[in-house]
Chain A
Amino acid sequence: MLKLDGVDTYYGPIHILQKLELEVGSGELVCLLGGNASGKSTTLKTVLGIVKPRSGSVEFDGEDVTGRPTSYRIGKGMAIVPENRRLFAPMSVRENLEMGAYLHGGGTKEDWDRVYTLFPLLHERRAQLAGTLSGGEQQMVAMGRALMSRPKLLLMDEPSMGLAPILVEKNFEIIQQVHESGVAILVVEQNANVSLAIADRGYVLQTGRVVLSGPAAELLRHEDLRKAYLGR
């Protein structure tokens, strides 16, 4: 589904991603772990095409999309739940969802039904301005907005950031639900415990390099990872 091959990304003279190799199989849930400034968000930006790699290639759904603009990749089946959600605050919930399906003419009835079934609360709140929602509700809108475009690959940037522990758990339940419907997911997280619990595989990034990778269950048991992220 997604394959990063020897990707080098720079911000000006600063080398952020160094020969990054990463793969997400079809229908797989992969999580990308790492501390601050390890290059997690840059990886997502490179996948989306907001940042262009200096060398290496990004392959999506059997096609090399390295030189393609973001809108092309979204149209081909990527979708993102951005860090801090980034909703369009002065627009209603409904309008926010519609913007998610911008490239699909605003979404078919099935798209709306799918999202409203997954998040009944959003249907209730559809006329409310997104900026007036609580954090948990905003997270739902951000998820729904991403799902409106019928993605094959869902990218999630720190979905548990700024949420109460009970909402984090609920959030990951929804992620798993979406995953079970056949969507491949790449989750970027600092919260290793929760994300590895539902992931198939995981990668650990450190200063732009993959230092550890493997099945989620193995990573959970791994001595170094436990020391670095789980604190026990």
Chain B
Amino acid sequence: MADTSPPTPEPPAAATAQIGVDSWVSEEDQRREGRKWLGRTWERLPPAGKLALLTPAIAVPFLPLSEANIYNYGLFILIYALLALGLNVVVGFAGLLDLGYVAFFGFGAYIYAFLSGTHHEKGHVYTHHWAAQWSILTAVVMCAVIGLFLGSSSRRLLGDYLAIVTLFFGQAFVVFTNSADPYGITNGSNGLGNIDPLRFFAFGASFTVSSTRGYYWFLFGCVIVVLIVLHLLSESRTGRAWKASREDPLAAEMMGMPVNRLKIMAFSFGAAIAGLAGSVFAAAQTGAFPQNFGTQVLILIYAVVILGGTGSLTGMLAGATAIIVSFQVLDSTSPPNNARTLFYLSLVVGVVVIFKKSRAQMAVAVASTVALGFALHAIVHEVWPRGTSGQVTSGGYLTGAIKHWVLLPTNPNRLAVYGYLALIVLVITIVQLKGWWRVAVVPPTIVLTAFVWENLLIQQPAVTRYVLFGVLLIALMATRPQGLFGTAKVEIA
């Protein structure tokens, strides 16, 4: 018996008990190996490889898209990607909660607008037609300097206090541009319009960017440059010092790092990137207006950073794409059918996420959802014909299915509002339920969601988008608190 048994292999060094060696820790690599290969491959991909994933973005200007779509989607995604990359330095790298960030975006836009156009306001005439490279540079440098001042004034203020001070700064900017302007520099609530496109002069030659596709290319170049700079920075000693002083300022101080100076530097760096985004935005929009730089924009930038995962550069691009696409699709001026597609797509994703642990439960839930919709429709059609005699809003390729699956009363207003309230209750209930109880509640919820959507929300998609962002961020917090591309926090043992 003993002869036939295979020789026992030498135990690996890490597996034997050793002083100062923790076996759980030493097996960490093997455990990691077992995790999903997609995430591992992504982590191992060299930075250049990750950059190559941007290649689809190169194709965008060549696609048969309308100018308006390139502007609303392409340009906005790139501008928010830039803004998020800048905010990521402040919030992600240095860990400072800056709620006045959007003001730097505004400063950049106004400085560019002021230096690149003729403005008649309140009896003053300002005529500057600077070459674009100088007005952009001025905007970037001035934003960095303003960031430096704001940063140094609040260097003793940490956490919540810093958030309040910067929030005040952001609000003050909006008030300043709107009203407190005796010399007509910002032209109050009318803003600065009619400004020059990006016109570069150098060595006697001039080069003008004025088409939407031209701006797309220019912004794309800016994003690539900022990405490379930030990548090098985050891999540098300064980048790691930011991380260290974010994790433990006192320990960082005790290692001799100038923690305050590092923080102010991050603050100023983020402000400069926002200034760059602002100046190109003003040129592309041929104007700078106070309402472009309100709290709503700040919330969007934060949504991008949180969704993408604070601290991750790739995450900022992914976050900007997801947030801006859903934001623009759910705009009142966008065709309702795009919004509808997005809505049903997110319902499908939601169902997949809820039942990702059990395929059987998912199959039952989907089947009974479909059946419930048709059954309900058939019954209501017999009992109360007016309950199904409404029209599908704005038609489209889903009309046939919706007409026979969703209840469309002739006069849906009050019913839809009650349905909306009931929906909130159901959603909260689902969160509390587990297993087959959940399977039982999901189908009526989905049917009700479709009912509320088709009868009420589709007419005001702009309201729905904030509901959607709220749900999206809550779902993210529950399933992936570190964001799409963020790294999970390691607590010190």
Q: Which of B237-266 contact A (CB under 8 A)?
A: 237, 240-241, 243-244, 247-248, 250-258
A-chain residues with CB within 8 Å of residue B253 when the two chains form the complex: 50, 70-71
B-chain residues with CB within 8 Å of residue A149 when the two chains form the complex: 255-256
Q: Which of A71-95 contact B (CB under 8 A)?
A: 71, 74-75, 80, 82, 86-91, 95
| A46 located at the interface, meaning its Cβ lies under 8 Å from any Cβ of chain B in the complex | no
| B359 located at the interface, meaning its Cβ lies under 8 Å from any Cβ of chain A in the complex | no
Partner of A140, one of B20, B241, B251: B20
| A145 located at the interface, meaning its Cβ lies under 8 Å from any Cβ of chain B in the complex | yes
**Do residues B257 and A71 form an inter-chain contact, with CB atoms below 8 A?**
yes
**Do residues A89 and B491 form an inter-chain contact, with CB atoms below 8 A?**
yes
| A181 located at the interface, meaning its Cβ lies under 8 Å from any Cβ of chain B in the complex | no
**Do residues B237 and A102 form an inter-chain contact, with CB atoms below 8 A?**
yes
Q: A102-B257, A132-B490 are in contact. List 19 more A-B contacts (CB 8 A).
A: A50-B254, A71-B253, A74-B254, A88-B243, A89-B247, A89-B492, A91-B240, A95-B244, A98-B237, A98-B240, A99-B255, A103-B256, A121-B20, A131-B493, A133-B22, A134-B22, A137-B25, A140-B20, A166-B19
Q: How far is the CB of B421 from chain A (nearest CB, A)?
A: 43
| A57 located at the interface, meaning its Cβ lies under 8 Å from any Cβ of chain B in the complex | no
Interchain Cβ contacts under 8 Å between A and B, 20 examples: A70-B256, A71-B258, A82-B251, A88-B243, A89-B492, A90-B489, A91-B240, A95-B244, A99-B241, A99-B244, A105-B237, A130-B492, A132-B490, A132-B493, A134-B21, A134-B22, A134-B493, A137-B22, A137-B25, A166-B19
Q: Which of A132-163 contact B (CB under 8 A)?
A: 132-138, 140, 145, 149
Q: Residue on A with the closest CB to B24?
A: A134
Q: Which of B440-493 contact A (CB under 8 A)?
A: 487, 489-493
| B382 located at the interface, meaning its Cβ lies under 8 Å from any Cβ of chain A in the complex | no
A-chain residues with CB within 8 Å of residue B21 when the two chains form the complex: 121, 134, 137
- Give chain A's interface secondary structure class: helix
Partner of A86, one of B20, B25, B248, B493: B248
| B28 located at the interface, meaning its Cβ lies under 8 Å from any Cβ of chain A in the complex | yes
| A106 located at the interface, meaning its Cβ lies under 8 Å from any Cβ of chain B in the complex | yes
What is the interface residue range for chain B against chain A? Answer: 20 to 34
| A129 located at the interface, meaning its Cβ lies under 8 Å from any Cβ of chain B in the complex | yes
Partner of A136, one of B20, B28, B240: B20
**Do residues B254 and A82 form an inter-chain contact, with CB atoms below 8 A?**
yes
| A53 located at the interface, meaning its Cβ lies under 8 Å from any Cβ of chain B in the complex | no
Given contacts A50-B254, A102-B237, whether A129 and B490 have CB atoms under 8 Å apart is yes
**Do residues A87 and B492 form an inter-chain contact, with CB atoms below 8 A?**
yes
Q: Residues of A within 8 Å of B, CB-based: how many?
A: 40
Partner of B490, one of A89, A98, A105, A140: A89
Bound CA span A167–B18, Å? 12
Give me the 8 closest cross-chain CB pairs, A-B, nearest first. A74-B256, A134-B22, A131-B490, A86-B251, A89-B492, A136-B20, A103-B256, A71-B256
Partner of B250, one of A71, A86, A166: A86
Given contacts A89-B492, A99-B252, whether A132 and B240 have CB atoms under 8 Å apart is no
Bound CA span A87–B491, Å? 11
A-chain residues with CB within 8 Å of residue B492 when the two chains form the complex: 87, 89, 130-131, 138
Query: Max chain A CB contacts within 10 Å: which of B22, B240, B487?
Result: B240
| A184 located at the interface, meaning its Cβ lies under 8 Å from any Cβ of chain B in the complex | no
Query: Max chain B CB contacts within 10 Å: which of A48, A88, A102?
Result: A88
Given contacts A71-B256, A75-B256, A102-B237, whether A91 and B250 have CB atoms under 8 Å apart is no
Given contacts A134-B493, A137-B20, A138-B493, whether A90 and B25 have CB atoms under 8 Å apart is no
